[in-house]
Structure 1
Amino acid sequence: MPSGLLALLDDIGALVKVSAASLDDVPTQVAKTTGKVSGIVIDDTAVTPKYVVGLDPAREIAIIWQIAKKSVINKVVFLAPAALLLGFFAPWAIQPILMLGGAYLCFEGYEKVHSIFSPHEEAHATEAESAKVITPEELEKERVTSAVRTDIILSSEIMAIAYSQVADQPLATQIIVLLAVAVFITAAVYGFVGVIVKADDFGVHLAKENHSPGVRNLGRGIVKFMPHFLKILGYVGTAAMLWVGFEIITHGVPFLHHLVENIEHALASVPPIAWLVKALACAIGGIILGFIIEKFVSLVRKIFKK
């Protein structure tokens, strides 16, 4: 009996050592996964500030907190367990889901590019929205709901990519990495969004008369710069959406994957140029795919209207 107990303790000790060894690799896995989803993170960061535009500045942080709270709950409670269950029971479904999300990113990215070159259509949509008379509370609730809906799609893609990076790791590592990525990325995205939306208020504060001329000039500079920064961030987010979306698609289409890899290998002697050309090629591919999807969606809408 004592020998059996000792054997059991030895087995437990060996299991603990294996688990500890795998957990030592968690920071590396989190860093690797975060890098893989950087394009989606940039897009999420670029998209979110628009949801507080036109609302009470005193409510901006509270609104962002509501979105962030729902985002982390969705990732931790629903999306991470769903990724683990799919990985265990239907690992074959991970790649199609990733590709479906990539196609959606290309579609949305194309629509943003189209709106940049067709601003009159966006103006008509804005006029239609302004025709509706709703209370500030209703508008805030509507904005939060819309933001969370967009966040769910982007978060689904983030968690699916995160799982694909640790699919061959022990279960403990998978769980910890998914949870760490969920919390870290949510905190990073919405923390940065909070800084962005309050930057102009900070600039106004610095521009007050009770500060030195240098500080006032800095404050006025921040206020003037922020609209341009938000516009640039929007462009970067759109480019990242197209690039990441199409690159995800290429991983499920061998021909496209080899083509993109050949482009990168041809310029391997100059890594920054290789990365830039690859990203540009993926962005162009994303625009083309997004255009095709948009035409298909428009056709389906017309059929259902009839």
Structure 2
Amino acid sequence: MKINTVFRHLRESLRNILRNSWMTFASVSAVTVTLLLVGVFVVLMLNMNKIATDIEEDVEVKVFINLEADEPAIAKLGAELESIAGVESVAYSSKEQELQSLIEDLGEDFSLFEQDNPLYNTYTVKASDPKRTDFVADNAAILDSVNSVEYGEERVDQLFTFFEAARNVGIVLIVGLLFTAMFLISNTIKITIVARRKEIEIMKLVGATNWFVRWPFILEGLWLGVLGSIVPITLITLGYSYAYDLISPKLQNYFFSLLEITPFIYQVNLIILLLGTLIGVWGSMMSVRKFLKI
């Protein structure tokens, strides 16, 4: 394509946007609202996925060792735990260490148990895949010298089910919003095409190719998508920065956190801009292909 032709298509697409100012405003507003909703859902989903990953990675199996087990039996148990398929790490903690942890967490009142420690020696077992925690726990429970195994089975299963369902619902909502935006832009371009049908017919009669006619509309859709992404990018950048500064200090005592502002916010902004461009171009192409049939 010649450089003069490229500039001609650019001028034509910008002229169409200015000429149909009200339709442009309506289309950009629709895209803005849609991309804002998509951006909010993307921010929520990615942070939820981060929190879910943090929580899943924190799921561990606590193996309580029989009180009568001697050091060779404890060492043998550790080796057997490490040999279970799907085990990532095994950490030993004596009952004295367990009591110290209990005192640190719940207060000095529990120091009374130092003379007669009722706790168990334990192994903390971590699965390489959090979803295989139940498999690891079941295999650990049948080993010799094991008194009991705990990992919060019901809560862990419910947690995994909830996060999986939330991820699926989020994806469906985002896809639905994107198709809505494509539909809105497509209809806007269709109205523009109807108003310029005679002009297009004349262009075809004098030998204009299909792509020569298509390009101004495709570029027009691209501008609509880009313009519609400006407000969402601004609002989400400011909103997430404010929310991060507000929420992050409150999560310092927990084992999960929000995604850092940078580079996360730049990645989200890039996603919004690309989505705006994509839905604008795609909506225009579908409108031209199906409506004009050129």
TM-score by length of 2: 0.33
Larger strand share, 1 or 2: 2
TM-score by length of 1: 0.31
Q: Which has the greater radius of gyration?
A: 2
